Amino acid sequence: MSTEVSAPGALDGLVIADFGRVLAGPYATMLLADLGAEVVKVERPGVGDDTRSWGPPWVGDESSYFLGVNRNKRSTVLDLASPDGLGQARALAARADVVVENFLPGTMDRLGLGYGQVRDLNPDIVYCSITGFGGHNDLPGYDLLIQAVGGLMSVTGPEAGTPTKVGVAVVDVITGMHAALGILAALRHRDRTGEGQRVEVNLLSSLLSALTNQASAYVTAGVVPHAMGNRHPSIAPYELFSTADRPLVLAVGNNRQFASLCEVLGLGELPHDERFATNTARVTHRDELVKLLEASLETNTADAWFDALTAVRVPCGPLNDLSDAVALAERLGLAPVVEIDDARRDTPTRHIANPIRLGATPPSYRASPPRLGEG
């Protein structure tokens, strides 16, 4: 566990007017805030961001969901439907370097805060819009919905079971990362030319991009992938296996790793068997291979196999819960948890650290998430 103090960041001096709500927008702006940007979060009177009420779990009277994506920000309460609130919002946008919003398409225009309207106030603005289905479609987009219509649920879950969502709002997170990347690219362009621009990302396109090899299977080869449980369509062995206690993942990506695996398991003859000599052959004869490997793996514990196999550089690991995962990251020296101790609260708040490591301008953790209206 570590506590970071304020230090100049890569984005020091950058001002972001954050009209984002829920997850994709707030996640993007938190990443940028960690890197030094000043983020002013605009929230609705009385209720604020929807996620302030998304509990349990609660930390005191605060939602752990909200706390997870809103550190290093200030909160300002503005009624965008009132002349005074709108005026303050326009003044904020006029002095900002970046505006981020994820309202339904057309909402910001109706409020008087659309890209063209803000550009008139601030010609070099970088204006990022996050939508569900693109700026010309006024369909509402939530992560679960996009996982369904975007094909992710069709490739997730038991092989013959019910389509299953991923256990976190992964589409929102991916879209937030794409938004942050687009913002940084637009800022780099502005640094060179003085010209701002609009950045647009949407949940559906972000998911299709993130489907990578599965999407490529369809667009290049016409193959529509389907759910395979924990198996991989193109690699074997690459799935969960039973051991003497808890499941173990094997992620064997080449023949060297497979030979090392078999040697440790006492199955040194398998790499010479034509059914298993190549990855393609192993995929074809997957069921036979799994039976042979599992019979050996069930003679010892997952942790024992983890130690033995990683010693010969075979990618593997036991099935962890979140507690185990954080403990593993701590053992590996990754400092996964940070504490922020500031005047906003009587006790420090704990957070998962920003995963980006920068040698000269590392992320900093200057302020815990704001209470509603806490500037």
| Residues paired with 251 in a beta bridge | 238
Q: Are 41 and 76 in contact (CB under 8 A)?
A: yes
**Cα angle vertex 347, ends 343, 350, to 5°?**
105
Residue type, 261: L
The bridge status of strand 197-202 relative to strand 126-131 is parallel
Q: Where are the alpha helices (DSSP H) in the chain?
A: 24-34, 64-67, 83-95, 107-111, 115-121, 143-149, 170-193, 203-210, 212-221, 255-264, 279-284, 286-297, 302-310, 322-331
Q: How many angstroms separate the Cα of 205 from the Cα of each of 5, 53, 136, 150, 210?
A: 37, 29, 13, 8, 9
- For residues 183 and 191, what is the distance between their CA atoms, to the nearest angstrom? 12
**Cα angle vertex 103, ends 99, 108, to 5°?**
65
Q: Are 368 and 69 in contact (CB under 8 A)?
A: no
Report CA dihedral (190, 195, 196, 198) to the nearest 10 degrees.
Answer: -110
Phi, psi (degrees; rounded to nearest 5) at 199: -115, 130
Report DSSP letters for 148-171, one per residue.
HHTSTGGGSS-TTS-----SS-HH
Q: Which helix (H) or strand (E) holds 285?
A: none
Catalytic residue among 34, 49, 143, 172: 172
Q: Are 350 and 50 in contact (CB under 8 A)?
A: no
Residue 347 burial (CB count, 10 A): 10
Q: Does the active-site annotation cover 172?
A: yes
Q: Helix (H, G, I), strand (E, B), or coil: what is residue 230?
A: coil
Instruction: Kindly list the catalytic residues.
Output: 172
